[in-house]
Amino acid sequence: MAINLTKGQKIDLRKTTGESLTNFCVGVNWGAIETKGGFLGLGKKVTNIDLDLSCIMIDEQNNICDHLYSPLYRVEVLQQFGLPKGKLLSSDGALKHTGDDLQGDTGGDDGLDNEIITVDLTRINPNVSQIFFFLNNAGREDFSQIPYSKIRMYEGTPTRVNSVFASYNVSAEAQYTGKLSIIMGKLYKRNGEWKFSAIGDPTEDVFLGQTIARIVKSYL
């Protein structure tokens, strides 16, 4: 049975069989905002929602040593925060991003996540000690307006969910009203074993660079 995560909760990456969870997906699911409109309210207005799932890798000296975020971010804006161009594959090949979803599900939840980072813990550079996952909204809608937004860790592939290990329901949390980004959680290494901590802190950051700066300043 999947673990329903709460803010601040820490979990071991072990399945019910006792085996370590080493290959999994971290995914975010959300819907476009659909409202009635048009003549006599019979039509439908669809507002696309562009959320961006990203992560940064931290080494044992508390420095950023790698990253995954959208290549669509403008380089000149990233440079203002001292950040390199976005990419979808980590240098060690252990983490891979499926790429940008610019709109969210329409016509209801399709059961799949919109943006996913696949993780293979066996391939992570030994110097990496923490991996922070965070979510930014490229638009101006806060998380209380976005339908069924949820974060989950599961075994499977970007197109097939085999078994959900843990999930965190964002849309159900009142604290996300008015917030445009979330520091979701981190994988961290303790005594040679990887664990996960659900941070779940909402912020008012309007750009990924601000969120990364916040993590470096306050979470390391």
Return the number of other C-beta atoms located less than 10 Å from residue 103's C-beta.
16
Q: Output the average pLDDT for the chain.
A: 86
Does the pTM exceed 0.75? Answer: yes
- DSSP string spanning 29-75? E-B-EEEEESGGG-EEEEE---EEEEEEEEETTS-EEEEEB-TTS-H
User: For residue range 92-104, what is the model confidence (pLDDT) as tens digits?
Assistant: 999 999 987 666 6
Question: What is the C-alpha end-to-end distance of the chain, expressed in Å?
Answer: 32
Q: What pLDDT, on the 0 to 100 scale, is given for residue 7?
A: 82
Continuous H helices in 66-160: 75-80
Alpha-carbon distance 15 to 12, whole Å?
9
Domains, the chain, ordered by start = 3-34+45-218 (2.60.60.30)
Q: Which residue has the tokens 């959320």?
A: 51
User: For residue range 22-67, what is the model confidence (pLDDT) as tens digits?
Assistant: 999 999 888 777 777 655 666 677 777 788 899 999 999 999 999 9
Residue 153 half-sphere exposure, CB side, CA atoms within 13 Å?
27
Alpha-carbon distance 51 to 119, whole Å?
20
